[in-house]
Chains A and B, each alone.
Chain A
Amino acid sequence: AQSVTQLDSHVSVSEGTPVLLRCNYSSSYSPSLFWYVQHPNKGLQLLLKYTSAATLVKGINGFEAEFKKSETSFHLTKPSAHMSDAAEYFCVVSERENSGYALNFGKGTSLLVTP
């Protein structure tokens, strides 16, 4: 079985400071992991993905995430927050050995960026 836990429902940072959004997963097999971002009343946009290649994954808009198997974590980071980063972020897990169909979404973290 696979699941994902986003450890913070809300994160607030000042513009120009680092961003850390935490995600832990559980998976019986080799997982694929994703981060999506959703701006208000918009669809979800894929930020980055991990599929068993390099453990440090770089995504769009300066975001990156590191896959740590020993910690079962896939935290999302950005060195310097921008006002436009304010949005909802979803961590997602999928098991490639699983013949199923669905991605397993976390409940989301709302990122607030203050001036």
Chain B
Amino acid sequence: SQTIHQWPATLVQPVGSPLSLECTVEGTSNPNLYWYRQAAGRGLQLLFYSIGIDQISSEVPQNLSASRPQDRQFILSSKKLLLSDSGFYLCAWSVLSNYEQYFGPGTRLTVT
């Protein structure tokens, strides 16, 4: 069966520090991968999606970036965090673009 992992589970970082969140998927090949952010009291905002290695599209211009160094690994990064980057970050995968997505457990990021 397929599983999706995210780490770390929680993170507290000062403003201006770098960020690296990791997501890995097991049990499937060539998945579509997604990064979402969920701010307090708000819905999900799609940040990035990827249909293959080194094929990444950004949905919202911001100081975040994403990379996919391996087929089942998706990384969310920032060189300098802002207070507004605080939130709950969710990684997801799907078989095809318009099919249901399966979510990881999330990372709670607090920027202080």
Contacts and interface: CB of A to CB of B under 8 A. Distances in A.
B98 A42 contact: no
Interface stretch (A18-26, A44-52, A60-68, A75-83): A44-52
Given A41-B108, A99-B97, A100-B98, A107 B103 contact: no
Nearest to A43: B103
Interface residues on B, range: 20 to 34
10 contacts: A43-B6, A44-B103, A45-B103, A98-B98, A101-B32, A102-B34, A102-B46, A103-B98, A103-B100, A107-B43
A74 interface: no
A107 B40 CA distance: 12
A100 B93 CA distance: 15
B11 interface: no
Interface in B47-65: 49, 51, 57, 59
B46, B49, B59, B100: most-surrounded residue (chain A CB, <10 A) = B100
B87 interface: no
Contacts of A45: 103
Contacts of B98: 32, 94-96, 98, 100-101, 103
Interface in B88-106: 88, 90, 92, 97-106
Given A101-B51, A102-B49, A43 B104 contact: yes
A36 to B, nearest CB: 8
